[in-house]
Chains A and B, each alone.
Chain A
Amino acid sequence: MSEYMLAALWTAFVDTLVMVSISSVIVWFAGIGLALILVTTTAGAIFQALTLNRLLGGVINAFRAVPFIILLVALIPLTRFLTGTTIGIWAAIVPITISATPFFARVAEVSLREVSSGVIEAAEALGCERKDVIFRVLLPEAMPGIIGGFTITVVAMIGASAMAGAIGAGGLGDLAIRYGYQRYDTVVMFSVIAILIVLVGGIQLVGDRIVAYLRAR
């Protein structure tokens, strides 16, 4: 492989890392936030608000129903409005985030819902206010499941970033399509695949380790 190609691979790898990292941070907070709203506004929960719950659930479902490749195109006006451009990694972060957040919100919701109602009741009985119930009970108790779900989400985001490459987002996916697919450069194609396998394997390993540590206590 030429030096030029190595440099291109390196740039693409860094682009992917930046895209996925920035998206991950946004998705972590936005997803947990939405999941908390879903869990705490449901019937009998601490901030019961059924209309809001149903509305939010509906919006999340709607976004999850749209395939990523379509979302990517449909969100172009929003992307342009937010970043001023429709190509490059910043332009990719918008659709990646918007697609991954509802997914992660649902995953985190499941973990939060599994916190036993008895533990929440105990906290209320001991004079915890609702914010304490959320930050001192719900989130710590659900954390292993949330982190497990977040690992899955990050891996899915790497896949999405490669797809975003198809519309000129940069990163490993972009490289693989331009050189591997359009120029029949098998070496680049397989290099990209190898890098992705290592990246995904590494992320999964770290996620599993954290979950195992939290669960072993």
Chain B
Amino acid sequence: MNQITMHHDAQPFDVSPVIAGAPNSEIVTLANLGKTYSSSNGPITALKNINLGIQQSEIFGIIGRSGAGKSTLIRTINRLERLTTGTVKISGIDIGALEGRALVDIRRKIGMIFQHFNLLSSKTVFENLALPLRASGVKPDLIRERAANLLELVGLSDKARTYPSRLSGGQKQRVGIARALMLNPDIILCDEATSALDPESTVSILALLKDINKKMGITIILITHEMSVIRNICDRVAVIEGGEIVESGPVWKVFGLPQSDAAKALLRSPGDASGDDNCTPHYEGTDKTLLKLTYSGESGEFPKLELITRALQGDVELVHAAIDVVQGRPQGTLFLATSSNAVQVQDFLKREGLFSKAEVLPNV
């Protein structure tokens, strides 16, 4: 059922954060989720046969194109969205059967932040933070204290009396994060939390989320269509397409060795696209051989240029290269042009340890 449990021991180069407390306890279990809407054109399947287990204190990303069902999926976790089939368990509790008080209680353990922040425009920053606690009957003194602490954490201590309309997008999302933390949740759900932000704010919000995850051990589940979000902060990722999980695993693995078409399209390794298009025409009509070396990160090593040059036994030109480090594992592509003859190139392609995959590109 749980296809994507990460085995820490099995990886030689695992740099995912050490989980405090119980390392392999599942905090969210999604089993056989299905969701069907009825519409005027007949039933629409939004989610189909989703099975995921999310570990305590990890950052789990769900990536998919718009309309893939990721928004519906994350909303099933705090039951903003009801299921047609399957079960959602939070720390072992099946939330599908909860009603009224019990549902409110479980929601108070699950914070949520939103793409468009969803702050109350009629309330100050402080009152926005106070809302979830006032609703749960916490004493005003405690509310003030907690709000002050959290505003300090998110770096907005001076904005308590400001109305949201006077804040920038990044600041609004910081308020959203502080509000989600007010109830001291075990889990935070992020619904496209950075999609409406500029690149700079995106980086700082992601850093804040990572910080919260590390310091407080809060499990973060996020959905996004941006692979940079997954690459920057997630431990594991699931790729959703047409309402189904088509692939999942540790981020470096899904990035480095994507199996499904959806993953390949969403998580193109750096340099892949520009390389193919740019370098081929330049070598048109020459007798050089164009090589594309792919590094998917299993070895955890950077490309060894000297060994490559030696193995090719001819001169080597670096045409295009992009290497990115994902979870401590170098991944990416090198495009090389070499004057080596056909036999030398064939020998090179069979070498092990110099690359994950090598192919000869047609130089037309």
| Chain A residues within 8 Å of B, Cβ to Cβ | 116, 118-119, 121-129, 132, 136-137, 140-141, 143-144, 214, 217
Shortest CB distance A122–B (Å): 4
User: Are B165 and A126 within 8 A (Cβ)?
Assistant: no
Q: Which residues of A contact B120 (CB under 8 A)?
A: 119, 137, 140-141
Q: A121-B80, A136-B131 are in contact. List 18 more A-B contacts (CB 8 A).
A: A118-B118, A119-B120, A122-B118, A124-B107, A125-B78, A125-B80, A125-B189, A126-B135, A128-B131, A128-B132, A128-B135, A132-B134, A132-B135, A136-B135, A141-B121, A141-B122, A217-B121, A217-B165
Which residues of A sit under 8 angstroms from B114, Cβ to Cβ? 118, 121-122
Contacting pair B165 A124 (CB below 8 A): no
Whole-angstrom distance between the Cβ of B263 and the nearest chain A Cβ: 29
Q: Considering the complex of A and B, which 8 residue pairs feature the smallest CB-CB distances, nearest first? A: A127-B108, A122-B118, A126-B132, A125-B112, A132-B135, A118-B118, A217-B163, A140-B122
B132 with A127: CB separation less than 8 A: yes
Complex: A129 Cα to B119 Cα, angstroms: 17
Contact status A140-B108, CB under 8 Å: no
B residues sitting closer than 8 Å to A (CB atoms) are 78, 80, 104-105, 107-108, 110-112, 114, 116, 118-123, 131-132, 134-136, 163, 165, 179-180, 182-183, 189
Q: Which residue of B lies closest to A127 (CB)?
A: B108
Q: Which residue of A lies closest to B113 (CB)?
A: A122
Cα A140 to Cα B123 with chains together (Å): 8
Chain B residues with CB under 8 Å of A118's CB are: 114, 116, 118
- Complex alpha-carbon distance, A137 and B182, angstroms: 17
Q: Once the chains are docked, how many angstroms separate the CA of A144 from the CA of B163?
A: 15
Q: Is the CB of B112 within 8 A of A122?
A: yes
- Complex CA gap A116/B122 in Å reads 12
Query: Is A127 within 8 A of B118, CB to CB?
Result: no
Q: How many A-B contacts at CB < 8 Å in the complex?
A: 72
Can you offer 14 A-B residue contacts whose CB atoms are under 8 A? A118-B114, A118-B118, A121-B118, A122-B112, A125-B110, A125-B112, A126-B107, A126-B132, A127-B105, A127-B108, A127-B135, A136-B134, A140-B122, A217-B165
Chain A residues with CB under 8 Å of B78's CB are 125
How far apart are B131's CB and chain A's nearest CB, in angstroms? 6
Q: How far is the CA of A136 from the CA of B127 in the complex (A)?
A: 10
Closest to B110 in A: A125
B132 CB contacts on chain A under 8 angstroms: 126-128
Query: In the complex, what distance in Å separates the CA atom of A214 from the CA atom of B163?
Result: 11
A129 to B80 alpha-carbon distance, docked (Å) = 13
Asked whether A126 and B183 contact (CB < 8 A) given A121-B80, A136-B131, A136-B134, the answer is yes
Contacts of B111 in A (CB 8 A): 125-126
| CB-defined contacts of B119 to chain A, threshold 8 Å | 119, 122
B108 touches A126 (CB 8 A): yes
Closest to B132 in A: A126
The CA-CA distance from A141 to B128 in the complex, in Å, is 12
A132 surroundings in chain B (CB, below 8 A) = 131, 134-135
Cα–Cα distance between A124 and B82 once the two chains are bound (Å): 14
**Given that A132-B135, A136-B135, A217-B163 are contacting pairs, would A126 and B122 also be in contact in the complex, using a CB cutoff of 8 Å?**
no
Q: Which residues of A contact B108 (CB under 8 A)?
A: 126-127
Please determine whether A125 and B107 come into contact, CB atoms closer than 8 angstroms. yes
Q: What is the distance, in angstroms, from A215's C-beta to the closest C-beta of chain B?
A: 9
| Known pairs A116-B118, A119-B118, A137-B120; A129 contacts B112 (CB<8 A) | no
Nearest chain-A residue to B163 (Cβ)? Answer: A217
Query: A213 vs B236: C-alpha distance in the bound complex, in angstroms?
Result: 48
Whole-angstrom distance between the alpha carbons of A126 and B78 in the complex?
10
Residues of B within 8 A of A143 (CB): 122
Of A116, A123, A129, A144, which contacts B131 at CB under 8 A?
A123
Question: Which A residues are in CB contact (< 8 Å) with B189?
Answer: 125
- How far, in whole Å, are A20 and B118 apart by their CA atoms in the complex? 38
CA distance A121 to B123 in the complex (A): 16
Which residue of B is nearest A143, CB measured? Answer: B122
| Chain B contacts for A129, CB-based, 8 A | 104, 135
Q: Are B80 and A126 in contact (CB under 8 A)?
A: no
Known: A141-B121, A143-B122, A214-B122. A126 touches B112 (CB 8 A): yes
Bound-complex Cα distance A67 to B199 (A) = 58
Q: Given the complex, which residues of A lie within 8 Å of B123, measured CB to CB?
A: 140
Docked pose: A127 CA to B111 CA in angstroms: 9
Q: What chain B residues lie within 8 Å of A123 (beta carbons)?
A: 131, 135
